[in-house]
Amino acid sequence: MINRVLIRLKIIQIVYAYYQNGSKNLDSAEKELFFSLSKAYDLYNYLLMLMIALTEYAQKRIDTAKAKLAPTKEDLYPNRKFVDNKFIAQLEVNKQLTEFIANQKRTWTNDQDFIKELYEKIVETDIYKDYMASDDNSYEADRELWRKLYKTYIFNNDSLDQVLEDQSLYWNDDKEIVDTFVLKTIKRFDEKNGASQELLPEFKDDEDQEFARRLFRRTILNSDYYRHLVSENTKNWDLDRIAFMDVIIMQTALAEILSFPNIPVSVSLNEYVEIAKLYSTAKSGSFINGTLDGIVNQLKKEGKLTKN
């Protein structure tokens, strides 16, 4: 699940903190990097649990209505399509997710106000109403409901962002990327796999884990050389006048360009320009793109960079 886009973002954040906090302990910073990545995987599982929590809340509403002193016919015989959703039933018994819940002891129990707010918003939507009125009782329709609900009402949700920020300082920056992993997971679910349906792994393979470790260490250990290259290609600028985040982004980009022969230069450039747009100033994207492009051309002329 943790892809290289997220790895690059986390390395930028940890390298920035490494210089800002002044401790300069490389091993501790590396541990912080991998802890931060593990928290992103926790968020992935926690957001899967959110769909279950919303369904459980709907069931409680039904139970409360039936327990009224004078329940209506609708209270006694509700439309149970939402709470009997086959996709959620499969997710609820998923072996990997239940193991995560058991190990982490993490639930949505303390955030029932948010669950209520989100549920009441969902039941007023056309997506929900059309689903409840439909005669299609297939697993595919049940799964599609949650893909639509997640993409429309959970993907960009300010209230949810606040809840997550209160739970973990790591999660706010992670959510947008992790949301895409949750949507991918929903689409991958297959009824025939039952409780054994595989969730996305924390790392796709050992190679990505090693990519994170190597890129982080090269960024720090070769920092003097990378900053020299930046300084040489920004002669009209004093390095101290360049936004510190821009320096960190270029330093990390150069570590990747010079340390990973199998990653095309264009891929690295595009990735770090996008990061600059997210994390630095309005002009940082074009500034970093121009500076790195100049450094790459210089290194190629000097024979120090041979890949395209």
Mean model confidence pLDDT for the chain = 93
Measured distance between the N- and C-terminal CA atoms of the chain, rounded to whole angstroms = 28
pLDDT computed for residue 121 by the predictor: 97
DSSP code at position 241: G
How far apart are the C-alpha atoms of 101 and 104, rounded to whole Å? 5
H/E stretch holding 251 reads: helix 244-259
Selected from 4.10.520.10, 3.40.50.300, 1.10.940.10, 3.50.50.60, the CATH number assigned to the domain covering 206-302 reads 1.10.940.10
pTM, full prediction: 0.89
Q: Residue written as tokens 């190990």?
A: 103
DSSP 3-state of 33? helix
> Closest Cα to residue 33, out of 165, 213, 268?
213
| Domain ranges across the chain | 4-196, 206-302
Is the predicted pLDDT of residue 278 greater than 90, yes or no? Answer: no
Cα distance between residue 115 and residue 121, in whole Å:
10
| Three-class SS state of 2 | strand
pLDDT in tens, 146-155: 999 999 999 9
Q: What is the pLDDT of residues 53-110, one digit of tens each?
A: 999 999 999 999 999 999 998 989 999 999 999 999 999 999 999 999 999 888 999 9
